[in-house]
Amino acid sequence: MSHTEASVTAGTHPAAASAATSSAAPVTVGAGAVSFADVVAVARHDARIVLDPAALTGVAATRAIIDGLASDVNPHYGISTGFGALASTFIESDRRAQLQASLVRSHAAGSGPEVEREVVRALMLLRLSTLMTGRTGVRPATAEAYAAVLNAGITPVVHEYGSLGCSGDLAPLAHCALAVMGEGRVRDAAGTPMGGAEALAAAGITPVVLAEKEGLALINGTDGMLGMLVLALTDLKRLLTTADIAAAMSVEALLGTDATFAADLQALRPQLGQAASAGNLRAILAGSPLLAFHAGPEDPTVQDAYSLRCSPQVHGAARDTADHAALIAGRELASAVDNPVVTLDGRVMSNGNFHGAPVGYVLDFLAIAAADVASMSERRTDRHLDAYRNKGLPPFLAHEVGVDSGLMIAQYTAAGIVSELKRLAVPASVDSIPSSAMQEDHVSMGWAAARKLRRSIDGLERVLAIEIMTAARSLDLRAPLLPGAATGAVRDLVRTVAEGPGHDRFLSPEIEAVVQIVATGAVTDAAASVTGPLA
């Protein structure tokens, strides 16, 4: 993948904003696309936004076109008409400011829990990026106010429910636009809830009074689902490498073989993701004393179970799916999504580019991949605990069999998560509920696909952590035989947050601690400290 890996996971509560000054480099937003790294920097690390002066000049030039059409006696959609099913209703000039404000207020109709701060910041950055293309017709001052809200660390309160993914993420974007108007509810940089007017006043930001076309420009876009896609891909890059590390630890601890991962065997099926995953497994298992101990003609194992032997095929398919999703995300980052849009030759045209299908599909694809990688991981965890399949390890890796339960219930936890991930893998994008008096008679549900993918990624992270914790105990129980250098480094890292074999103890805190070292990238760093960079 070409995108930059983030150092933290996705599950930040919206109130957990940091008041500290960001150390991230500023992100310049101009007429071109922002990058994956830009989205992560602003969403997760509070990078400051700088608006490109040349792009602002382009924004002003496009605004002049809108101002000219606003004085035309003929109706122009979004400029001098109502919206959606009311597109044929002409609005007099003295009512248009109210029209734009009413649009935002009425569309800010979300409900349910607050959406995470990083999601809102990603959404706002991507909407600002579209405003700066010069294709939406907003005034430069409106774009500047939008940037100022982000730079002040103000986070509009956006709710879980409200978007059908067409026309884009209307309700979530409307809650953000409402804040720029000095209305609605927000959280300041410290996470304190307050009214939008109070937050803007404290930051010295003048609320925006929307002019013609601006209400539409602030709420028509795929920015919420796209922002979540970029963040998800960033996390999946780390987690798919983590899955290779977990699989390598399981192959080693369960006395499997690395022969099946040989490059010439993998090349017989030239799938790119599979090759990358198998390369990781070879690097991680290189020089393993445990593998060498039972290798050779005397090894009674004919071939390993699929969850061990086929891990590059499954992990690789997930990698290829993520690469396809990254391609779609990159195209969407380069898009100017609005309706109507001002073309390069000055026409103001209605269009359907706001439909979220391209993004919704890949969000659903990724949920399928996450569920399958987690399912395979859970099967490897289960093999560690089954005395009939773990090749000499105690049942459930218990210290005193019959008295201790070992890691029995850790596998239950993984199984419960995998079951939920399978339900979350049911696509949202195949559903559609008509809206707006049948004007919007087919919708993408891309926002819903993105929301469930975030939960899927959280579940995958936990399932992999449980496998790593389990495999680390199995490696300990193989003593005096030693693991390889890379798997040993990960086992040693796990031992800094979770105890080794012994009598039963309170297990939940240890699981959460291992989840954290997976989430921060410490596990991948530990393996890479031995192998060098992993794919």
Distance CA 122, CA 172 (A): 12
- The Cα 521–Cα 498 span in angstroms is 17
**In the chain, helix, strand, coil percent, each to 5?**
55, 5, 40
200-203-206 Cα angle (round to 5) = 50
Q: What angle do CA 52, 56, 62 make, to 5 degrees?
A: 145
Of the residues 77, 306, 388, 412, which is catalytic? 77
Residue 308 CA to residue 376 CA, distance in Å, equals 9
Q: How remote is the C-alpha of 126 from its chain's centroid?
A: 14
Tell me the C-alpha to C-alpha distance, in Å, between residue 69 and each of 78, 80, 88, 93, 353.
Answer: 11, 8, 16, 11, 22
**CA-closest candidate to residue 503, choices 421, 424, 396:** 396
For this structure, is 146 an active site residue?
A: no
* Residues with Cβ within 8 Å of residue 392, at least 6 apart in sequence: 255
Peptide bond into 311 cis (omega under 30): no
Q: Rounded to whole angstroms, how far apart are CA atoms 317 and 334?
A: 26
As a whole number of angstroms, the distance between CA 86 and CA 275 comes to 54
Mind spelling out the 3-state secondary structure of 187-198? ECCCCCEEEHHH
State the distance between the two ends of the chain, measured CA to CA, in whole angstroms: 9
Report the C-alpha gap between 362 and 322 in whole angstroms. Answer: 8
DSSP 264-303: HHHHTS--HHHHHHHHHHHHHHTT-HHHHHH-STT---SS
Q: Which two tokens stand for residue 429?
A: 């994008």
Cβ count within 10 A of residue 90? 11
Query: What's the token pair of residue 79?
Result: 């400029």
Which residues carry out catalysis?
77
